[in-house]
Amino acid sequence: MKAEPPTLAARAEYAMALGMRFLPIAWVSALGGYLGRRYVRRAQRLERRWVARLLNNLDYLKGPTDQAQRRQRLLAYGDQVGRVYTELTVLKRILDSSRFRVEGEHHLRGHEGPLILVAPHLANWELLAGVLTLIDKPLVDLYEPRESELRMRIAMRTRQSLDGVEVEWVPTDSGMAMRRVKAALARGNHTMLFCDEIRQGVSQGPSLGRELPYAGNRWMAARLAVRHGATIVPMRIVREGGAHFTLRIEAPLAADLAANPDADPDMRARELANKIDTLFDGWVREHPEHWYWLKDVRVF
């Protein structure tokens, strides 16, 4: 079946994205914030279902408040998501500037086996690419091709221009995705997994007070770590304000049962999966407006 040609609006957005590459970083980020706030205002006027869901989620995570404060929370979410989209056009410039800093780089050193880098979609998660200059082996990175063809073209052009180790970008809808991840770990190379993905309209984590099955990328990361002797290193991006960011690399996760040679591998994997969830749960609760999936799931 022949694909539909891009709409005029999509072409205009693509042209604008190409032009933003030459603008100051602060302008590009601020423009994204403006567009994001405008988008959520319009969605609220049109009474989109996701707006009510997002506001209810924020009430649950941050406590109920009055309508004025709820509106400010909605605008904060729109501002954040809008900035993510426009900042993608200047991602490499942000990484190369004083706007980006790293904490916890030492947690990546001294490991004999492969690393499984795990992260949530917080702040501008695309800046996790800053880790590419801090590791010493090739990496397999799974990504979900959710956006339009032109938006994905922008994203992949940016990702492939970044400095650092060799990266194999693998779409999650590829039939070979998991085989490539397993092959990379078997060779001693690294992988990166986002452990808060959406599958069939259901969040695979963090739990945020819910009962979650052992499934999705969180469970896969834990099982792969046990099977391949890999080290799980959690990471996140924190937006410090405007277009200023910190990549925080946390201490590696270890299964307390790992010292017991008779410990069941499934039990060790469950322990690691629980530790990932505990970390991610705390991070999302700290800045729920910065979690991309907040409008797509019901968290209570």
Chain mean position to CA 262: 35
**Structure confidence at residue 257 as a pLDDT band (50, 70, 90):** low
> Is pLDDT at 4 greater than 80 in this prediction?
no
> Is pLDDT at 258 greater than 60 in this prediction?
no
Cα angle 272-274-276, degrees, rounded to a multiple of 5 = 70
Beta partners for 171? 143
> Is pLDDT at 215 greater than 60 in this prediction?
yes
Looking up tokens 């979900």, which residue turns up? 144
What per-residue confidence (pLDDT) applies to 1? Answer: 44
- pLDDT tens digits along 57-109: 999 999 988 999 999 999 999 999 999 999 999 999 999 999 999 999 999 99
DSSP code per residue over 56-89: HHHHHHH----HHHHHHHHHHHHHHHHHHHHHGG
* Higher per-residue confidence, 177 vs 104: 104
- pLDDT tens digits along 239-251: 999 999 999 999 9
> Is pLDDT at 146 greater than 80 in this prediction?
no
* Higher per-residue confidence, 160 vs 54: 54
> Is pLDDT at 168 greater than 60 in this prediction?
yes
Domain ranges of the chain: 8-90, 100-290
For the chain, helix (H) and strand (E) counts, in that order, are 9, 9
**Structure confidence at residue 3 as a pLDDT band (50, 70, 90):** low
User: For a pLDDT cut of 90, what percent of the chain falls above it?
Assistant: 65
What per-residue confidence (pLDDT) applies to 14? Answer: 76
Q: Residue count of the chain, please give it.
A: 300
- At 130 the three-state DSSP class reads helix
> How far, in Å, CA of 96 to CA of 23, rounded?
15
> Is pLDDT at 12 greater than 80 in this prediction?
no
> How far, in Å, CA of 105 to CA of 256, rounded?
23
Extended strands (E) in the chain: 100-103, 115-119, 139-143, 167-171, 190-194, 198-199, 202-203, 231-241, 244-249
Beta partners for 245? 100, 239
Amino acid residing at 176? M
* Higher per-residue confidence, 157 vs 259: 157
